[in-house]
Structure 1
């Protein structure tokens, strides 16, 4: 089957947290025989910050961020068997959704793939005339990269034919242990862009912990933090390219995961960083959120904190031996249960089932798990 996938960027992770997710899933689907074209706009300076060259497992079409170019690439949905419009493309999202739905053939599988379900659902609740409401009757599936039962119920309440979470995962060929790099040496490292619904939690879980342990070394990577006031023992790294993530995760004593406000509230939303860290054998400390136990066991495969005091206490008590044991256990669990091979098999089964239902005139999407 031919997939036309319209997303933010496959080539760059710059202000684009979905890049690792797209790469892992689409690479696996390509290995299963799908012919994939990924459409991404030339926007937000991402093309100047590419992490990868165009891969051999997907054709990448970078188009100018203009209405004319958007309409031209939307029209190409007519040649695909599976048409995917992801959330958060960032340029003409509403028009692109309408365009690809209108252009796709009736027998094609139409999917809205939500990489930020809490934000999208809040928009749908606030705006009865939202374009996604209008598109919903034409969609065969809503897929999300997190959210669990609350998100499924909410989307089905908005008349989605079916909503199925396809969680983040690990690609062990790209995220794995590497030798330590002095640039990333420290006791606790956090990687994430500065966003309005994350900043307060970074203050609570990361900066508060740093203030409590002035003798320990803390690192923060990601865009937007340069003018943020921080304790003297915090070193700001700026944007960390995906090719550097393994060293970033392998080198420090521990790494910290902090969910955004909306993701923490909904739960069942492990970030790509969780799987990247586990793949690199990192000892992960995470804020608490519902559904974590589906992926990692507290105390043995991950350390869980409720606030900055908890983070500081975990770090103060952590020995290199304990850190290695937690990291190794996390890597074993994630590799065995949560690789992109697992997610690719899930999506492949979903697509084949829905295609058969459409051919036989069955109800679109229902029961495709």
Structure 2
């Protein structure tokens, strides 16, 4: 199938945490025979912070972030078999939504990479653009969210909805030799966002203040002017080419969910799978559904608050960290790869085509 995908960016992870999710899924969909065209706007300085060159498994169209640029790329939707509008493009989202919803020929898909927040927004706004457009879409796919998100979308009238979780691409994320640049006791990688900052304060900065003898590493954009304990070293934006080294060099790697993801549950971040792919010892904040992906206490360590993080880190040994990290890596490589996710999406696309044919012939 020819798939036209309208998203934030495939080439850059700068202020774009979904980049590796898109890459893993679309690369493996291409391996199944699908022809991918990814349309991304020239916005937020992402093109000057590219992590990868245009890959051989997708055609990438970078368009001007202007009304004319949007019209030009939307004109290509009807040449595709499948047209996908992803959430959070960042510019002209409403116009892209309306354009994909009005495409005549392709299967129309809305792919939500922040479904709990989107559903909360829709509940609070009867005139939300997605509420108006949703009847035109054949299928909703989500970054995660489990049954709560599926029920939420069905409640708004979605024809079909399925979570497609983050996963591991073992060809891009794996263990490497430790790098002195990233040596630390605890590393956290995440951009500074309004719906994450308070949780970062509790789960990262507070343990750092409590464990002055431990070293903490903070990666991600936007943290430069945030006050931090002296034992926290800030890296700024970390290119994806350095993720393996960071995950392989820390004693432990911390995952902190955004507010909406934590309250909904069933939403493991991309970083969980990337770190597990490097056999890193993961500490995560508590959220419903973690056991579906990794077993607490054996393959991942779960913290209810910053005090738990501090206690775990104070007692964690290199041998214990290695044992947990290797168990996590083995589980993720066996059960949670993008090859498996792509096979799931391929089956969902075929089911959606069958459902549309039945609907049109009725």
TM-score, normalised with respect to structure 1: 0.96
* DSSP-derived class of the 2:110 partner: strand
Alignment of 1:358-369 (within 5 A): 358-361=356-359
Structure 1 residue 351, shift from structure 2 partner: 0.8
> Any residues of structure 2 matched to 1:172-321 within 5 Å, and which?
172-321=170-319
**8 Å contact kept, 1:83–1:104:** no
Structure 1 counterpart of 2:110: 112
Cα RMSD of the aligned pairs, angstroms, is 1.2
Is there any run of 5+ residues in structure 1 with no aligned partner, and where?
365-369
The C-alpha deviation readout for 1:155-207, integer Å capped at 9, x for no partner, is 10000001100000000000000111110001000000001110110010001
Q: 1:236 to 1:363 in 2, by over 3 A?
A: farther
TM alignment of 1:93-104, pairs within 5 A:
93-104=93-104
Q: CA deviation at 1:362?
A: 7.3
Q: In structure 2, how many angstroms separate the alpha carbons of the residues matched to 1:339 and 1:211?
A: 36
For 1:68 and 1:158, the matched residues in 2 are separated by 32
3-state SS, counterpart of residue 250 of structure 2 = coil
Matches of 1:316 and 1:350, distance apart in 2: 45
Q: Counterpart of 1:367?
A: none
- Give yes or no for contact 2:138–2:356 (8 Å, CA) kept in 1: no
Give the distance between the partners of 1:25 and 1:97, measured in 2 at CA.
Answer: 21
Where does residue 83 of structure 1 map in the other structure?
83
Is this contact kept in 2: 1:79–1:104, CA < 8 A? Answer: no
**What residue in structure 1 maps to residue 8 of structure 2?**
8
Question: 1:3 and 1:350 mapped to 2: Cα distance?
Answer: 14
Alpha-carbon distance between aligned partners in 2 of 1:327 and 1:91, rounded to the nearest angstrom = 39
> Partners in 2 of 1:71 and 1:283 — Cα distance?
46
Is residue 2:18 matched to residue 1:45?
A: no
- 355-364 or 222-231, larger mean C-alpha shift: 355-364
Q: Deviations over 1:97-141 (max 9, x none)?
A: 101222341xx2110000001221122112212221121111111
Out of 124, 128, 131, which is 1:130 matched to?
128
In 2, the alpha carbon distance for the partners of 1:185 and 1:362 equals 59
Q: Is the 8 A contact 1:77 1:103 kept in 2?
A: yes
**Contact 2:247/2:253 (CA < 8 Å) preserved in 1?**
yes
Q: Distance in 1 between matches of 2:355 and 2:152?
A: 24
Aligned-partner Cα distance in 2 for 1:165–1:146: 5
TM-score, normalising length from structure 2? 0.98
Report the number of matched residues.
362
Hey, what's the Cα distance between the residues in 2 that align with 1:290 and 1:358?
34
- The corresponding residue for 2:166 is 168
The one of 139, 154, 157 aligned to 1:156: 154
The runs of at least 4 consecutive aligned structure 1 residues that moved more than 4 Å come to none
350-359 or 117-126, which deviates more: 350-359
Q: How many angstroms does 1:72 deviate by?
A: 1.1
Gaps in structure 2 of 5+ consecutive residues: none
Query: What are the Cα deviations for residues 183-234 of structure 1, in whole angstroms up to 9, with x where unaligned?
Result: 0001000000001110110010001111111011000000010111100100
Q: CA deviation at 1:357?
A: 2.6
